[in-house]
Structures are given as structure tokens and as C-alpha cells.
Amino acid sequence: MTLAPGAFAATSEEIEKRINSLLQKMTLEEKLGQMSQAPFPPNLPDNAKKEIRKGRWGSFFNAGTPAEKTEAQRIARKESRLGIPLVFAQDAIHGYRTVYPIPLGQAASWNPELVRQAARMTAREVASEGIHWTFAPMIDIARDPRWGRIAESLGEDPYLTSILGSAMIKGFQGESLTDAGSIAACAKHYVGYGAAEAGREYNSTWIPENLLREVYLKPFDAARKAGVATVMTAFNSINGIPATGNVFVLRQVLRGEWKFDGMVVSDYTAIPELIPHNYASDMADAAYKALRAGVDMEMVSTAYYDHAKALIESRKLDPKLIDESVRAILRLKFRLGLFDDRPAPRAATPLAPDALEVAKKIATESFVLLKNEGAVLPLAKSARKIAILGPLADSQKDQLGTWAMGADEKAVQTPLAAFRKILGTDRIATAPGLKNSRDISRDGFAAAVEAARSADVVLLFLGEEEILSGEAHSRAFLDLPGAQEQLVEEIAKTGKPIALVLMAGRPLTFHNPATKAKAVLWTWHPGTMGGPAIADIVLGNSVPSGRLPVTFPRTVGQIPIYYSRLNTGRPASENELGIPLGNPLNPQGYTSKYIDVDFTPEYPFGFGLSYTKFEYTNLRLSTAAVRVGGTLKVSADIINAGQYEGNEVVQLYTHQIAASVSRPVRELRAFQRVHLKPGERKTVEFSLPATELAFYNDQMQLATEPGKFHLWVAPDAVGGIKANFEVVR
């Protein structure tokens, strides 16, 4: 029977009543079973069926065919003592069968609506296979590109991550969790995982409370406000206490301050990892500390199932904590409608045309034009012959990026395939030059050079393979791997204009190769439709509008480097490089700089070029002095002074000049995408409540402090037009 979506969306009172009555009937073993999650047992063998009948598991994730899930659920509902349904989860991080750009790429679109649509399409594909829950969005703030999982993040800024993470949650969860096309979202990894020291995976994080609250917790607070159904704990320790046993962030903040009533799941074996963290002495202690902190469901490991009973019997563990966790798990299942014959999965064609259309559109909007000397892009119609070179010009797998386990790789349209489809093969010369991005052999160079010589222009596809990106793939060097730089050198010797098209799961350092190219187009790992999207941009059917959601360093030695830094007591200025000649005691030299590289980034947060040129003028404020409880209205005119229609991402930044705690030189407060035809002028307006300027002051209270501010309406985190205002009591 298929009920209308929401027909059984019981009220929270009804759900709590049903939870209570069920809880009273459950044995301790059944409760601990609900708190246990495992990978779906391949082929659903008999012993797994027996365990399901016994109520040994509350959830399975990844693997398992739709038919196997249906059978597993039938057994849970019809053959177990209490008929408690299983909840099935999947890592659908940036798509499932259809793959969208990696989240860091989606963030570069600065387009919440498109991000929401991509998540909605993903939910449709996931739910159609009988899966109820995705382990996404990953909303860890990432400011260190050595960390492989920056690819999964939405970048360095808490405001942008909050907006886009909430958009993903709305896409996954829709209007109602009981809708056949909705799945529960999971805000992860709670919390601070992206601050791993030295960018080394799973490493310790040291985060002072004000930074923790203002930067790392902020997106999770937004996720909670967006109604996220679940949260996943992180692998890292925070100031010496592992996130998965951390009472402060899990009990005091998440449950206490934020009143989160969703479900908390550990990350993969993160509970027993409390032992190597030197935080738990053994498995029983690990189980105790995770339960004490409020981790409801244990992923993969069995510390809860094996040790909670003895902890209760020895009176070390209050059984009420078990009941609290089981409540949270049952609440999720009720909210998903799993007890009430949730509508049967709605059949959905994988890679449906509308999904591919969204995948192409968001990929197109994610690309960031970093350089375009002499307007070599879009390619002139006169470019009769194009050389399409490089190991990433035709690699279906690499284009998908990390965490694309459900992807239909064969469906991926590569740039080479897309250009051939549009231009025909006789206008294209092609050679990979290298077998893959790590290849150090020059055996393929000659063919690539020859192809370049035969063409009018070179599109050179380089970067980082997907296998070099993602979890447990931290890198200490960010240069182009393998012999890619040497390949650029050799191609440059032909004198042909080069457009570098770079694919990667993180910012890389490529200053020298970029000097050899007329244009640089940054395309992240662009997903299933990356090829057609790149072809559209390169051929001028679309105009680049992507803006960097993360700072690109000049060199790995600058990391961590991010725009919302503090000014220091001796701020450096740009181009203040080297040892000043003359007086060695020259006081100008004593500033917060490097002597061997400019302290500024290669490309700043928010940066991106267009084929057209946008001008900013006529910045106006509603008042020069806004009350602490008031709202400042800001407007500015944006003019398209170029020849192409285009989208501009207009960004609003503020800086408080003096406060009880030093404030960053800039903080992103708002942004708007605006579409302008050549010659068109539009007024962009922002409303900035003074409460948005609040920070954790020297008493660790969240408050807006009166004082003087700078404000910018800007195309990125370093430029723009500037005004001053004051906050007054």
C-alpha cells in the first residue's frame, strides 16, 4: 500500500509515545542490537538472516542489492520478535549512480539552489534502491590542502559551508523524511576533523574554544537548524579528547545547548579507536566512554554489543544511557516512516536526463577560470585544429573523484569524448603524454609534442588522479605529481598557445606550469558530466562563474593559509619579499612575512575570472552607525563592462577594527549570484543584521560588540569597494 507522502508523518508526541511503548518491551540484547551497524552482509547469508531475526543489528550500510535489502527488511519486520525495521545507509557523498562534482567543486559554484538540486537527485537515486540514509554532507571546515578529505569538504569558510551544507540537507531530506524520494542526511564529521595537525589524516586537532565555536562548530549548528536527522562523530581528538568520546562537544554543545534530538552514529570503528588514542584502556572502557558521550550507534565494531551488559551489571554504566540512544535510533526510524510502511521505493532511472542536466550545470558553474591571457579562452572559431593532451583528458574514473563508490563509470563523459562529439575527430589531435598523473616516464612525450605541433591550440589536461585524493590520502607535496611539469615544458617549447585544464581534489601548487600557459581552468573532479561541461566553457557556450571556496597557496610551506586570518602586530604588505638590502636592521624587514615567498596566496578565497569584466561601484550604506540590535542595508552597483553575458558572485565581507578578541582581517557575511548582460548594470542589496557580527568575546560569550568596522562588496577576499560603519549601543 503506498500512502501519500507525509500521510503517516506522526507528530513528535505520537512518535515519542510509540517509542516508549516499544522500549518497555525490548530486552537489553535487542537494545544493543539496535545500537549496532555493519556493512551490508554480502549475498545475505543464512547466518546474517538468523542475526536479523534475533535483532542483532539496527542498521546496515553500503553494498547489498535492492532485492537483498528488501529480504533483510522483510525478515526484520515479519520474523523478529518486535518487528523493528532496519535502516539502510549509503555513502552517497556527491551523487550515487549519477556523480556530481566533488563537494569542494560544488562549493565553487556558490549556488545553494543547484547544490540542493544535486542532493535531491542523489536522494532520488539512493531511495529508489531502498536505501534510507546517506552519510553526507561532510561539513568539516578544511584549511589545509595537504589533507585528502578537503575534496569532500565545502571549503575553508564557515558561512559558505553553513549555507551549502544546509542546502544539501534540504536536498537529501526534502519536505518530509517519509517521502519516498527523501533520505536522512548525516552532518559529519563532528567535529574539527579538517584541523588535523599538518594536514596528516586522522591527526590530532588543537582548537581553542572560540575558534571551535566560530569556525568548526558553526556549520553543524546550521545543519541542526536545517533539521539534519543524524550526525557522525569524527576520528580525530580535539585538544586531547577524541571526538567520539568527547562529552563537551557531544553532550554539552550538541545535546545541551543545541537540543539536537537526532541520532549520533560513530565513524567506522571510531569507538575501539579510543584505545590507540590512549583515551580508553580496553574495549569495555571504550564502550563506556562513547556511551557516556552520547554516541547512539556503533559503526562496524562491536564494543557496545560485547561490553555494555557487563558495564551495566558492574553499575559503571547507567542503563538510562542505553535507553536514550535506543530512543534516538527508534526516533530516526519512525521519522523515516519505516514502522508505518514507508511508501515503496519509487523507481528512478539511474542517470536520468534531468540528473545529467543538473550534473552538467553544476559542473559548469563549479569551474574556476584562474588565468586567461589574451582571451585565449573561449577558443576562437578560427582554431581549426585542437590538441587535446594529458593523462586526465580521457579518464572516466579520475573525473569522478573520491567517494564515488556507487558510480556508473561507463556513463562518464570525458573531455576528449565531448570535444570529439562536438568538433568531430579530424579537428582533434590527441595524446596522453603520460599514462596517469603519477607517471614519470617520458616515453609518451614525443607523441604529445607532435600532436601539439599539428594544432593551432593546446588543451592540456593535468592534475591529480582520484586515487591521490580523499580519505587517508594526505600529501606532503602539492606540486603536479609525476612528470606533468616536464610535459608542460616540452609542450611549451612548440610555441603553441596552451590552455591548462586542471582536475584535482584539492588546491595544488602549479605556479611554474601556469606561467607557460595562456589560460588556466580549474575543474576539480567534475563528475559524470565533466566532459560536456568543460567543452561548453572552452568553446564559449557557457561563461565561467566559479569562485574559489578555498585559498590556493603559492607553496606548501605557507599552509595553513586562509583569508580570514588575523592581522598580527606587524602586518606584512604584498611583495615584501627577500632580505632588504642595505641596513640589516631595517625595521621595514621586521614584519609577518617570509623572506623566500610572498606571504599572500597564489589565488585568494572567492577568486575567479570570467570571459567578461565586472565593475563594482556606488557602494551605499543605510547608515554610518547601526545599533547592536539593528540591521545595516548595503547596496552596490555591478556593471558588466565586457562582451559576454555572465554570472558574478558578489561577496560581502566585514572587519571589526578593534574588539575584546582580535577579529579576522575579513569575514564573509553574505553573497549573491547576479546575472548581467553586456553593458547591464544591477544594484545588489544586502541586509546585514548586527547580530551576524557576533563573536565569542574575551568572556567566551557570543556577543556583538560596538565598534568601528570596514566593509567590502567584493569579487573575492582581497579586492572590492570599501566603506566604513560603526556599531553603536
Give the footprint of ligand GLC on this chain (CB under 6 A). Answer: 91, 135, 188, 267-268, 471
State the nearest-atom distance from the C-beta of 204 to ligand GLC, in Å: 16
- Spell out the SS3 assignment of 70-93: HHHHHHHHHHCCCCCCCEEEECCC
Comparing CB distances to ligand GLC, the nearer of 62 and 555 is 62
- Grid coordinates representing 702 are 557570543
**Residue linked to cell 599538518:** 198
State the nearest-atom distance from the C-beta of 137 to ligand GLC, in Å: 11
State the nearest-atom distance from the C-beta of 179 to ligand GLC, in Å: 23
State the nearest-atom distance from the C-beta of 75 to ligand GLC, in Å: 24
Nearest-5° Cα angle at 389, 431 to 401: 110
Max Cα distance, the chain (Å): 86
Rounded CA separation 647/659 (Å): 36
Comparing CB distances to ligand GLC, the nearer of 92 and 533 is 92
- List Cα–Cα distances, 91 to 97, 187, 219, 384, 498, in angstroms: 12, 12, 20, 44, 38
- Spell out the SS3 assignment of 364-397: HHHCEEEEEHHHCCCCCCCCCCEEEECCCCCCHH
State the nearest-atom distance from the C-beta of 90 to ligand GLC, in Å: 9
Q: Nearest residue by C-beta to ligand GLC?
A: 135
Beta strands in 582-728 (DSSP E): 614-621, 625-627, 631-640, 646-656, 667-676, 681-689, 695-696, 702-703, 707-714, 721-728
Amino acid 498 reads I
Parallel, antiparallel, or unpaired: how do β-strands 498-503 and 428-431 relate? Answer: unpaired
Comparing CB distances to ligand GLC, the nearer of 135 and 611 is 135
Q: Read out DSSP for 392-423?
A: TSS-HHHHH-SS-TT--GGG---HHHHHHHHH
Contact 51, 86 (CB under 8 A): no
Comparing CB distances to ligand GLC, the nearer of 165 and 553 is 165
Q: CA quadruple 668, 672, 677, 683: dihedral positive or negative?
A: negative
Rounded CA separation 394/418 (Å): 10
Q: Read out DSSP for 577-597?
A: -SPPSS-TT-GGG-SB--SSS
3-state helix, strand, coil split of the chain in percent (to 5) is 35, 20, 45
Q: Is 698 a catalytic residue?
A: no
Active-site residue among 267, 285, 439, 598?
A: 267
- List Cα–Cα distances, 236 to 230, 240, 279, 727, in angstroms: 19, 9, 12, 39
State the nearest-atom distance from the C-beta of 91 to ligand GLC, in Å: 5
State the nearest-atom distance from the C-beta of 140 to ligand GLC, in Å: 10
State the nearest-atom distance from the C-beta of 65 to ligand GLC, in Å: 18
State the nearest-atom distance from the C-beta of 267 to ligand GLC, in Å: 5
DSSP state, residue 249: I
Nearest-5° Cα angle at 560, 269 to 609: 110
What's the number of CA atoms in the CB half-sphere (13 Å) around residue 182?
23
Parallel, antiparallel, or unpaired: how do β-strands 631-640 and 625-627 relate? Answer: unpaired
Cis? peptide before 560, omega within 30° of 0: yes
Annotated catalytic residues are 267
